[in-house]
Amino acid sequence: MDAFSQRFVSQKFSEYYASRSNTLSSPETLGQRELAFFLFKERLMVRHRSAINLNGLRRLIEDLQPSDVYYSCAYYENPEAEMNKKGWLGADLVFDIDADHIPTKCDKIHDEWTCKTCGFCGTGAQPEKCSKCGGQKFDTKTWPCERCIDSAKDETAKLIDMLEKDFGLSERDIHIFFSGHRGYHVHVENESVRVLDSIARKEMVDYITGLGLNLSRKEKAGSDGKALSRAFNLHEFGRYGRMKRDIRRFIEGATKDYLAAAGIKGRASTGILQYRQQVLEHCIEKGLWDSVRDVGDETWFKIAAYLTNLQISVIDTVVTTDIHRLIRMNGTLHGKSGLLKIEFPVKRLTAFDPFKEAVAFKEGTVKVSVSSAPEFRIGESMYGPYRNTIVELPTAAAVLLVCKGRADVVNE
Ligand SMILES: [Zn+2]
Ligand SMILES: [Zn+2]
Task: Kindly give the pairing relationship between strand 386-394 and strand 381-383.
Answer: unpaired
**Which bound ligand lies closest to the C-alpha atom of 135?**
1
Could you say which residues of the chain have pLDDT below 70?
Answer: 21-22, 101-103, 214-231, 310-313
User: How far lies 42's CA from each of 167, 337, 386, in Å?
Assistant: 43, 19, 30
Ligand 1 centre to CA of 123 (Å) is 14
Question: How far apart are the CA of 406 and the centre of ligand 2, in A?
Answer: 16
C-alpha of residue 103 to centroid of ligand 1, in Å: 24
For residue 145, report the distance from its CA to the centre of ligand 2, in Å: 4
- What's the rounded Cα separation, in Å, for the pair 345 and 186? 11
Cα 116 to middle of ligand 1, angstroms = 7
* pLDDT on residue 181: 94
Surface-to-core class of residue 398, CB atoms within 10 Å of its CB (0-12 exposed, 13-18 middle, 19+ buried): buried
**C-alpha 363: how far from its chain's center?**
30
Ligand nearest to the CA of 114: 1
CA of 146 to the centre of ligand 2 (A): 6
Q: Is the pTM of this model over 0.85?
A: no
302: CB partners within 8 A, 6+ apart: 262, 263, 264
The Cα-based distances of 412 to 364, 367, 369, 402, 409 in angstroms read 16, 9, 12, 16, 9
Q: What is the C-alpha separation between 248 and 222, in angstroms, rounded?
A: 25
Please tell me the number of the ligand nearest to residue 110's CA.
2
- Ligand 1 centroid to Cα of residue 43, in Å, is 27
pLDDT at 390: 98
DSSP state of 112: E
The closest ligand to the CA of 108 turns out to be 2
* C-alpha of residue 141 to centroid of ligand 2, in Å: 12
Q: Which ligand is nearest to the CA of 129?
A: 1
What is the CA(122)–ligand 1 centre distance, in A?
A: 11
**Distance from the alpha carbon of residue 112 to the mean position of ligand 1, in angstroms:** 14
d(CA 87, CA 237): 38
For the CA of 122, the nearest ligand: 1
Residues 97, 315 contacting (CB under 8 angstroms): yes
CA of residue 291 to ligand 1 center, whole Å: 58
C-beta separation of 174 from 186 below 8 A: yes
Q: Relative to the alpha carbon of 138, which ligand is closest?
A: 1
Sheet holding 326-328, edge to edge: 45-49, 35-39, 66-72, 326-328
Q: What is the pLDDT of residues 56-66, one digit of tens each?
A: 999 999 999 99
In the chain, DSSP finds a helix count (H) and a strand count (E) of: 14, 18
Which of 133, 383, 411 lies closest to 401, judged by CA? 383
Residue 287: is it exposed, middle or buried by C-beta count within 10 angstroms (0-12/13-18/19+)? Answer: middle
The alpha carbon of 124 and the centre of ligand 2 are apart by a number of angstroms equal to 10
CB 187 within 8 A of CB 349: no
Ligand in closest contact with the CA of 147: 2
